Amino acid sequence: MGKRSVVPFGPQHPVLPEPIHLDLVIEDEKIIEAIPSIGFVHRGLESLVDKKNYKEMMYIVERTCGICSFMHGMAYCEAVEDVMDVEVPDRGKYLRTIWSELSRMHSHLLWLGLLADGFGFESLFYQCWRLRESVLDVLELTTGGRCIFSVNKIGGVLKDLDDDMIKAILEAVSKVEVELEAIKKTFLFDYSVESRLKGVGVLTKQQAHDLGCAGPFARGSGLKLDMRLRGYDAYKDLDFEPIVSEDGDGYARCYVRTMEIFQSIDLIRQAISKLPKGDIAVDVKGNPNGEAFVRVEQPRGEAVYYVKGNGTLFLDRMRVRTPTFANLPGLVETLKGAQFADVPLLILAIDPCISCTER
């Protein structure tokens, strides 16, 4: 048995985009144990409900995360709408779905780029981000913001899509589809990429289930967990099957996310072809009184929003459970027994978003 030592890892690290700190207990080059600690970017967003009224809070929860921003705002609005018994018009629901799926595309393309950067494939990294740019451009065209859209409101959405915009969205997703098809081969079949991902950080289906993992991380381990199956917004009318891979290694997670981009493209096309006419929002009167619990599928997994109103403008409590928080126990498990050089890749594999974990 070699000598054990503790290597601190993060919160600042060249490969990690997110401030997570891990104490790695290593023996030679092998990880024996990993002890995570977070708390470097806590902002106290949840407690702002005391100071900001429930409509303003929408703009604050949106800033929980810079990537799944739209879905945070949407989940919050849906929770408040649930409390207030507001029914969003169908067109509003479809627009929310379209923007959600565009967000998922840009998030997964970002992740693929970071993964490529993680295993040192710089040109692949830039190719992914180049594709992401066309998604961001169309988001800016339709919402006015590239990452933070500010188009949600309690009762619906603020902006509508006209025919030109719908055409632009369809053109952008077609472009991404064609170009991703070329890059996909590298991610899924390239010898050097496979050697870095295959069999690395295996998490079995049972472990993923017991540790409560969520999102593509859980689906990569064979768990068919996808909150979109709950049928919120327009998902009830759309035809899709969650993408699942049984292997539970880094390659499986990469496969799931790559294929999910194609799935999102398909969902956007379906939603656009069924886009109903009519209002995009309803007026909301009064204040929320009661509590609600909403679960949505974000790019990183399931996010849970809880709100409790007391009949005044200010909510009593708002609670957010983000997917990265659910995936941290799974991450610690995959790190056990891994090689030291694989640590950045394994952390990237859960697509960590620490700033939303700490809110």
Partner 1 sequence: MSELMNFAPVVLKNLFSKPVTKNYPAEPAVYPERSRGHIEIDLETCIMCGLCMRSCPSGSIKVDRPNMTWTINRFDCVQCGYCTVVCPKKSLTINPGYQEPGQEKFEASYTKPQPEVKPEVKAEAKPEENK
* Site residues for partner 1 per CB under 8 A: 52, 55-56, 59-60, 62-63, 123-124, 127, 130, 133, 140-145, 148, 150, 153, 158-159, 182-183, 185-186, 189-191, 194
Going by C-beta distance under 8 Å and a sequence separation of 6 or more, which residues neighbour residue 184?
A: 258
Q: Which is nearer to partner 1, 189 or 341 (CB)?
A: 189
- The least distance separating partner 1 from the CB of residue 239, rounded to whole angstroms, comes to 29
Strand ranges across the sheet with 4-9 = 4-9, 21-27, 30-37
> Nearest-5° angle of CA 342, CA 343, CA 347?
120
Q: Which is nearer to partner 1, 138 or 296 (CB)?
A: 138
- The least distance separating partner 1 from the CB of residue 145, rounded to whole angstroms, comes to 6
- The least distance separating partner 1 from the CB of residue 285, rounded to whole angstroms, comes to 15
Kind plus residue range of the DSSP H or E element containing 98: helix 90-118
Would the CA dihedral through 270, 141, 110, 298 be positive or negative?
Answer: negative
Per the rule left: phi > 0, alpha: psi between -120 and 50, beta: everything else, 121 is beta
- The least distance separating partner 1 from the CB of residue 185, rounded to whole angstroms, comes to 5
- The least distance separating partner 1 from the CB of residue 232, rounded to whole angstroms, comes to 24
- The least distance separating partner 1 from the CB of residue 47, rounded to whole angstroms, comes to 15
d(CA 63, CA 48): 12
At 294 the three-state DSSP class reads strand
Q: Which is nearer to partner 1, 143 or 287 (CB)?
A: 143
What 240-244 contacts at long range (C-beta under 8 Å, 24+ apart), as own/partner pairs, is 240/266, 240/267, 243/219, 244/219
d(CA 33, CA 23): 8
Q: Which is nearer to partner 1, 63 or 230 (CB)?
A: 63
d(CA 183, CA 181): 6
* DSSP structure string for 31-59: EEEEEEE--SS----GGGGGTS-TTTHHH
Q: Which is nearer to partner 1, 190 or 266 (CB)?
A: 190
d(CA 204, CA 257): 18
d(CA 307, CA 80): 7
- The least distance separating partner 1 from the CB of residue 209, rounded to whole angstroms, comes to 28
Q: Which is nearer to partner 1, 1 or 182 (CB)?
A: 182
- The least distance separating partner 1 from the CB of residue 99, rounded to whole angstroms, comes to 13
d(CA 137, CA 100): 15
Q: Which is nearer to partner 1, 11 or 145 (CB)?
A: 145
